[in-house]
Chains A and B, each alone.
Chain A
Amino acid sequence: MKKLVSLLMIVAVLAVFVPTAFAAPPAQAGQDYIVLAGDWLAKIADKYLGNPYAWPAMMALTNQKHLTDSSYAKIINADLIEPGWKLYVPSAEEAEAFLATYDKNKPEMLYATGAKGQLVVGSWWTAGGEAEGLNGMFKIYETKYPDVEIVNATVAGGAGTNFKAVLATRLIGGDPPDTFQLHAGLEVETYSPEQYLEPLDDIYASEGLETVFPADLLTLLKYKDHYWGVPVNIHRSNVLWYDKAVFEANGLTPPTNFDEFFAVCEALKAKGIAPYVMGTKDGWEAAHIFEDVLAGTLGAEKYKGLWTGATPWTDPGVTQALENFKKMIGYANDDHPALTWDGAGEYLIAGKGGMMIMGDWTDGWFQSKNYTGYGWAPPPGTQGIFVALSDTFALPKNAPNAENARNWLKVCGSLEGQEAFNPQKGSICARTDCDPTLFNEYLQSAMVDWSKDAIVPSVMHGAAAVESWVTDYKDAITLFVTSGDVATTQAALQQACVDAGICQ
């Protein structure tokens, strides 16, 4: 009797390890299914295959059917199916066969392979204007290359952190997407480009890109004498936003240097208005503001030198920048550690704050809050300097559809592609010949500056330095915000440069 009980227990344990075989309803042949209101893929998979996690098999096999029979739906987004669509519900064996090889980090497996193969585009643009802009570029690509199946392999979350982890695994495993998103500048070093990426010099030559991008941008894009990415957009880090009504009521004009800046602060403080607002909750904001203070204090050339080793971090200019920043923090709102940058923006919207320094994504955010009373100017000392960050697309070695990827990079660099992407994303074109009328007033002014200003790379957004250096730099500034200790901070910044292998 005891033996029997033990035997039953072993069977029970084994059953846990082979659940699907027992749990699924009796096997049946594949069948068609018309989507009803209130359906979603996992629900249908659960109903017909007894396993909600079998939905990828349904999606992949429906897309496969769509290639030869267009009465079947083409599922682009797993979260979006419409009533009336015809789906293919695979048999249990078909589903199992697919799921056995399916890897959720390879979304291209969910899409069928078209006549000319696929184009797997990896990015972290999953929502809002940036996703719409990306779709705009996809549309252009589709009209030019209708036979290629585009796979939008986005990975959400963590400002690209999750995406980069997936990408690193795929690059090491020799199984890369066809093209992927990469910040312009030194971030490329993270990916050991000589080992894992293809140089794109030929595309720059054939598309004439060297004549349409500003020279400073081209220098920034070059790493070890080659281009590794094609830029699609430009954001500006150094913008001083101010409330027009507050400035007018107090007879003020936007400050152009630090003395004027502090004079404006005094004037506003006397009126009970927070002169300068910031939010520092997430740690990176203060470091972002400080890069603009550095550029404003040192000037374009010396600022650029900080990241190449040409300007030492022990330079008196850095000391001065820290002093300026310390004085600025003295005028900042008390609750800045509790706020993110948009929380600080609420001060301007409420007419209780005078100025803030933040990148030009602030423009889109102000508009979403229906706030129109804002003006903009370069932060003190940065007239004629454009602190830039940019997204590019790169081509990995051994990309499965390298030819399709090259065509994609051409679309990315083209006038048409950039004009489709940027108005949606709220950024300006990397090219200098985009049509200004497509853009709003702020972006138009940024476009003018972009074509004539000295362009320097943003640190906090991946353009100037490798990520390990950026986080050490950020940590030093976070400490500085409370300690105000100029000497210690300067030493820490110097040490970060040494650790990064740039300074001696």
Chain B
Amino acid sequence: MRRLNWERVVSILLISPAAIATAIFVYGFIGWTAYASLTKWDKLFPDFTLVGLSNYRKLFANQRFQIDLRNTVVFTVLFLISCLLIGFLLAFLLDQRIKGEGIFRSIYLFPMSISFIVTGVVWRWLLNPGSPEMGSTGVNLLFDMVGLGFLKTGWYTDPKIGIMAVAIAATWQMSGYTMAMYLAGLRAIPDELREAARVDGASELQIVRHILLPLLRPVTLSAVIVLGHISLKIYDLIVAMTGPGIGFSTDVPAYFMWDTTFRGNHFSRGAAIAIILLLMVAVLVVPYLVHSIRAEAEL
């Protein structure tokens, strides 16, 4: 062990306020939530009788929670795939040294600077289907006007596709961000590689497939991590846009957690949902953290 010299003391002193705060307000409360999830706290006043894992058992048998998990999977898959595809496409197009690149870049990035609440309200109006009696509204009205009436759907009022409508709004907001990540990645790839491939007679498609995409893999991984944890934790967009939706078609675990805890006083059930959410995010993030820490150690 190294000797505790002055410099070490200083660095420990400087780090300790943040470390202590994190220990209490992050890890302490995670532990507290985990403990609460094992108790019988089912009304406004706490009841810390331990009941083991029964809150979790009941939760997984709960129909609403099952729908929530399915919604989360559908939403995450749709949101990730569409963000990555659109983001990459936009980045690839912008990388063609077009005129006015700065303007386009800003336009695509702007949605990200808006809060999910604003996005939610705007898309709630846009995707409000209207009704035969009161007339179509939003996007459906647009379809009517250009003669594409057969494309009209119930959007988030249709229990089968409700969560997809939310994914559309989320994609609109976050694909610009994905584009920015990819654009930075593309700019870091030396032109010589593409030149060499062209000299060897590769088509543009082959260049994308065999050169750009493999070299962009770290970018894709980061994007998946960032977008993935946003989609698992999504809450504000749901609140502003649809609420739990018809038959919980747009409900997500985070919304259920809030609803059951603060409206229904099922505090231990809410804590159990919080812990499950934490585990889901951990499954996604921890391997990435381990990977990147190892990579740093190797450098």
B55 / chain A contacts, CB cutoff of 8 Å? none
B43 close to A337 (CB less than 8 A): no
Choose among A190, A335, A336, A492 the residue that contacts B43 (Cβ–Cβ < 8 A).
A190
Tell me if A23 is interfacial: C-beta within 8 Å of chain B.
Answer: no
Cβ contact within 8 Å between A334 and B132: yes
With contacts A2-B7, A338-B124, A470-B264 taken as known, whether A192 is within 8 angstroms of B154 at the C-beta atoms is: no
List residues of B (38-55) whose CB comes within 8 Å of A's CBs. 42-46
Complex contact B133–A353 (CB within 8 A) = yes
A316-350 residues at the B interface, CB under 8 angstroms: 333-338, 346-347, 350
- The one of B10, B243, B248, B263 in contact with A467, judged by C-beta atoms closer than 8 angstroms, is B263
Contact A347 to B64, CB < 8 A, known contacts A281-B243, A282-B243, A335-B128: no
**B17 at the A/B interface (Cβ < 8 Å)?**
yes
Query: What residue of chain A has the Cβ atom nearest to residue B13's Cβ?
Result: A10
Q: Separation in Å of the A237 CB from the closest CB of chain B?
A: 18
In the complex, what residues of B have CB within 8 A of residue A280's CB? 246
- Give per-residue flags for A207-234: 1 if the beta carbon is below 8 A from chain B beta carbons, else 0: 0000000000000000000000000000
Stretch at the interface among A254-262, A304-312, A370-378, A474-482: A474-482
The total of interchain contacts (Cβ-Cβ below 8 angstroms) comes to 116
Chain B residues with a Cβ closer than 8 Å to the other chain, count: 42
**Which chain B positions have C-beta within 8 A of A251?**
none
Contact of B63 with A479 in the complex, beta carbons under 8 Å: yes
Complex alpha-carbon distance, A471 and B64, angstroms? 12
Select A9's contact among B10, B43, B63, B242, beta carbons within 8 Å. Answer: B10
Asked whether A38 is an interface residue with its Cβ less than 8 Å from the other chain, the reply is: no
Query: Which single member of A165, A191, A283, A335 contacts B243 (CB below 8 Å)?
Result: A283
CB of B259 within 8 A of CB of A471, answer: yes
Bound complex: CA A352 to CA B130 (Å): 13
For residue B146, CB closer than 8 A to chain A, the reply is: no
Interchain nearest-CB distance for B10 vs A (Å): 4
**Residue of B44, B46, B154, B244 touching A190 (CB-CB under 8 A):** B44
The closest CB in chain A to the CB of B130 belongs to A335
Tell me if A236 counts as interface (CB < 8 A to partner B): no
Nearest-neighbour CB distance to chain A for B242, whole angstroms, equals: 7
- Indicate whether A468 reaches chain B with its CB closer than 8 angstroms: yes
CB closest chain-A residue, reference B42: A468
With an 8 A cutoff between CB atoms, is B82 at the interface?
no
List CB contacts (< 8 Å) of A456-471 with chain B.
466-468, 470-471
Instruction: Tell me if A335 and B64 are in contact (CB < 8 A).
Output: no
**A475 B132 Cβ-Cβ under 8 A:** no
Say whether B283 faces chain A, with CB atoms less than 8 Å apart. no
- Interface contact A482-B249, CB-CB below 8 Å: yes
Q: How far is the CA of A350 from the CA of B135 in the complex (A)?
A: 12
Tell me which residues from 254 to 269 in chain B have a Cβ below 8 Å from any Cβ of chain A.
259-260, 262-266
Name the B residues within 8 Å of A34 (CB-CB): none
Query: Which among A17, A165, A190, A334 has the greatest number of chain B C-beta atoms within 10 A?
Result: A334
A468:B63 contact, CB within 8 angstroms: no
Chain B residues in 8 Å Cβ range of A369: none
Q: Give residues 155-213 of A contacting B (CB, 8 Å).
A: 158, 161, 164-165, 168, 171-172, 189-192
Q: Tell me which residues across on chain A come within 8 A of B249, comparing CB atoms.
A: 482
Q: Across the interface, which residues of A come within 8 angstroms of B243, CB to CB? A: 281-283
Cα–Cα distance between A168 and B157 once the two chains are bound (Å): 37
Contact at B131–A335, with CB atoms within 8 Å?
yes
Whether a CB of chain B sits under 8 angstroms from the CB of A272 is yes
Question: Once the chains bind, are A274 and B133 in contact (CB under 8 Å)?
Answer: yes
* Residues of A with C-beta under 8 A to B128: 335, 338
Q: Is the CB of A272 within 8 A of B6?
A: no
Task: Give the distance to chain B from A408, nearest Cβ to Cβ, in Å.
Answer: 23
Query: In the complex, A331 Cα to B7 Cα: how many Å?
Result: 76
Tell me if B151 counts as interface (CB < 8 A to partner A): no
CA distance A466 to B265 in the complex (A): 10
Chain A neighbourhood of B228, CB < 8 A? none
Question: In A1-56, which residues have CB < 8 Å from any B CB?
Answer: 2-3, 6, 9-10, 13, 17
User: Which residue in chain A gives the minimum CB-CB distance to B160?
Assistant: A482
B264–A334 CB distance below 8 A: no
Of chain A, the residue at the smallest CB distance from B129 is: A335
* Residue B185 interfacial (CB < 8 Å): no
Question: Does A483 interact with chain B (Cβ within 8 Å)?
Answer: yes
Q: A109 — which chain B residues lie within 8 A by C-beta?
A: none
Query: Which residues from chain A contact B162 at a C-beta distance below 8 Å?
Result: 337
Is A13 a contact of B265 with CB atoms below 8 Å? no
Decide if B131 touches A334 in the complex (CB within 8 Å): yes
Residues of A within 8 A of B133 (CB): 272-274, 333, 347, 352-353
Q: Are A481 and B247 in contact (CB under 8 A)?
A: yes
Query: Are B244 and A338 neighbours in the complex by a CB distance under 8 Å?
Result: no
Q: How far is the CA of A10 from the CA of B9 in the complex (A)?
A: 11
Whether B247 contacts A482 by the Cβ 8 Å rule is yes
In addition to A334-B154, A338-B129, A468-B42, 5 A-B residue pairs with Cβ atoms within 8 Å of each other are: A13-B17, A161-B262, A171-B45, A281-B242, A335-B154
18 A-B pairs (CB sep. < 8 Å): A6-B7, A6-B10, A13-B13, A13-B17, A158-B262, A161-B262, A189-B43, A190-B265, A191-B44, A273-B133, A274-B131, A336-B157, A337-B156, A337-B246, A338-B156, A347-B133, A467-B43, A470-B264
